[in-house]
């Protein structure tokens, strides 16, 4: 729409609007309301004529190209691009891939969704700017699941992402491509997003290091949101040191993200990770094992990894935390109802917060309504539940779940008051076969959501959590998840670095 061309609708349009609101207004009432809104439309036209307030794009880049099959064997790259960072900085010499829910100005973005294909952002996400200012080079965008709604790697448009350890098997989701390109050795670093485990799940399936930082530690500005209270972004890397290095470059407030609560200086994670685990107390959470879908080999390897940490000097004790088994249930109303209202009905950004709204993305994403049948089965399933609960139950369960998050957080904190870290399997299983192209809806949904029970709770409680590879079950990686106190990523890195240097995880097999 050209600037300043908002026109005051006629009576018939206002009658439709009133009907949508359940209002019964006479023609005379409608006429008077219409006249009273003349000044309001003048104000909207003033807003329409003003330039938007968005960050300046400062680093040149190539527009991006779709790689051919020969350079994309796992289907993990969406576009390849070249954005050279500053001439110096802590990331100088490092190449980084971006999950394709992150805005990179001038380079196509589709967030795994056919309904968004063709969109080109006009802003750089804060994490992009920070990588480039730290001297890193961005080399492309990686495929992710359809609007990030799958813990498997089978829902992305146009095709699934394959696990580099075994073709035909899941790379995990929703940051599927990021995990795959790191695991395949194509880049040492990538960024992922995590609302239910979407950094840690693919990290576990692919055998890399994936950190979901404390909520708000890394600004989410310029990344397509799902639900403000569970949105996280963070590093996915081939080594613990690179993970700590990338988090150092990414962390800290940007003044544009209301998810950010702390103004504390960013720690030197690489220095703090070198202290070893002598004297560290780790609680092995029994309720993280033995889920109905858990594989015995998976659980056994994680217990063996915990024993190796004991051998490296940590005190490792089994601890029962019954409320952990309720965590995924508490997370579900927040994720399902919150995402339906914010990401879908709210065109991604919703209302009632101050920060950077990427209005071009909001406009492009709003087109899903005319193409809803194209949405993934996993997103349809979530929307059916979320819309039903919001419209038939007033959002009551979303509200109650958010209240219960405080109880869940306190349960974890009560153990963390006695221990430095919590430990458990990242996932109940190793990577599973990708569903066939003609798989039934039930299988598509099962493979997307069966992996969530240990990861999802920490998205709503906001604790930092990291997956690190700890063994191979039938040749497929298994992940150990370490969970720390709020803003204590350094202790997680210390334990992960000690395990990485002290144990050849590939030698632990089942």
Catalogue the active-site residues. Answer: 99, 174, 198
Pair 464, 488: CB distance under 8 Å: yes
Burial group, residue 120, by CB count within 10 angstroms (0-12, 13-18, 19+) = middle
Burial group, residue 58, by CB count within 10 angstroms (0-12, 13-18, 19+) = exposed
Burial group, residue 219, by CB count within 10 angstroms (0-12, 13-18, 19+) = buried
Closest by CA to 180, choosing from 269, 281, 97, is 97
- Can you tell me the distance from the alpha carbon of 76 to that of 97, in angstroms, rounded to the nearest whole number? 11
Secondary element (H or E) of residue 330: helix 327-339
Beta strands in 230-294, from DSSP E residues, in sequence order: 233-237, 281-285
Q: How far is CA 256 from CA 101, 223, 259, in A?
A: 18, 12, 9
Burial group, residue 436, by CB count within 10 angstroms (0-12, 13-18, 19+) = exposed
CA angle 163, 166, 171 (to 5 degrees): 15
- Can you tell me the distance from the alpha carbon of 459 to that of 452, in angstroms, rounded to the nearest whole number? 11
Q: Which residues contact 208 (CB under 8 A, 6 or more apart)?
A: 179, 182, 183, 236, 237, 238, 469
Question: Helix, strand, or coil here: 223?
Answer: strand
Question: Helix, strand, or coil here: 207?
Answer: coil
Beta strands in 122-171, from DSSP E residues, in sequence order: 137-142, 162-163, 166-170
- Can you tell me the distance from the alpha carbon of 162 to that of 172, in angstroms, rounded to the nearest whole number? 9
- Helix residue ranges per DSSP H, 340-432: 359-365, 377-393, 396-416
Q: Which residues contact 37 (CB under 8 A, 6 or more apart)?
A: 8
Q: How far is CA 309 from CA 23, 171, 298, 471, in A?
A: 65, 27, 17, 13
């Amino acid at each position: 729409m050209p600037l300043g061309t908002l026109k005051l609708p006629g009576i018939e349009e206002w009658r439709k609007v009133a009907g949508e609101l359940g209002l019964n207004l006479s023609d005379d009432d409608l006429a008077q309301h219409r006249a009273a809104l003349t000044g309001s439309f003048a104000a909207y036209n003033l807003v329409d004529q003003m330039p938007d307030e968005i960050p300046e794009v400062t680093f040149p880049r190539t527009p991006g190209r779709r790689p051919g099959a020969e350079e994309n064997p796992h289907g993990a790259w969406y576009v390849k691009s070249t954005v050279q960072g500053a001439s110096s900085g802590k990331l100088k010499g490092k190449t980084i891939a971006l999950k394709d829910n992150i805005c990179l100005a001038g380079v196509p973005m589709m967030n795994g969704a056919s309904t968004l294909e063709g969109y080109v952002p006009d802003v750089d996400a804060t994490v992009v700017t920070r990588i480039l200012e730290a001297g890193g080079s961005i080399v492309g965008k990686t495929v992710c699941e359809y609007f990030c709604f799958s813990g498997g790697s089978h829902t992305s448009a146009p095709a699934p992402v394959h696990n580099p350890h075994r073709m035909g098997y899941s790379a995990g989701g929703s940051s599927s491509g990021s995990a795959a390109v790191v695991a395949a050795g194509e880049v040492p670093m990538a960024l992922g997003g995590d609302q239910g485990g979407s950094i840690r799940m693919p990290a576990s399936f692919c055998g890399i290091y994936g950190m979901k930082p404390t909520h708000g530690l890394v600004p989410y500005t310029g990344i397509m949101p799902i639900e403000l209270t569970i949105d996280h972004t963070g590093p996915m890397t081939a080594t613990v040191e690179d993970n700590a290095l990338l988090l150092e470059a990414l962390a800290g407030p940007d003044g544009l993200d209301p998810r950010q609560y702390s103004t504390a200086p960013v720690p030197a994670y690489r220095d703090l990770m070198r202290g070893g685990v002598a004297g560290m107390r780790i609680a092995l959470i029994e309720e993280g094992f033995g889920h109905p879908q858990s594989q015995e080999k998976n659980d056994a390897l994680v217990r063996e990894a915990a024993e190796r940490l004991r051998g490296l000097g940590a005190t490792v004790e089994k601890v029962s935390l019954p409320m952990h088994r309720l965590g995924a249930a508490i997370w579900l109303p927040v994720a399902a109802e919150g995402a339906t209202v914010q990401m879908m009905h709210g065109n991604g950004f919703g209302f009632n917060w101050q920060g950077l709204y990427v209005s071009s993305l909001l406009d492009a994403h709003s087109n899903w309504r005319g193409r809803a049948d194209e949405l993934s089965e996993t997103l349809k399933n979530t929307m059916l539940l979320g819309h039903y609960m919001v419209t038939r139950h007033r959002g009551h369960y979303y509200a109650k779940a958010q209240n219960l998050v405080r109880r869940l957080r306190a349960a974890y904190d009560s153990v963390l008051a006695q221990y430095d870290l919590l430990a458990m399997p990242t996932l109940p299983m190793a990577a599973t076969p990708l569903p066939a192209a003609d798989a039934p809806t039930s299988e598509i949904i099962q493979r997307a959501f069966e992996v969530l029970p240990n990861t999802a709770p920490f998205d709503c409680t906001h604790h930092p959590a990291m997956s690190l590879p700890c063994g191979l079950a039938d040749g497929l990686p298994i992940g150990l998840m370490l969970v720390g106190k709020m803003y204590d990523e350094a202790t997680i890195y210390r334990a992960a670095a000690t395990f990485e240097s002290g144990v050849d995880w590939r030698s632990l097999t089942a």
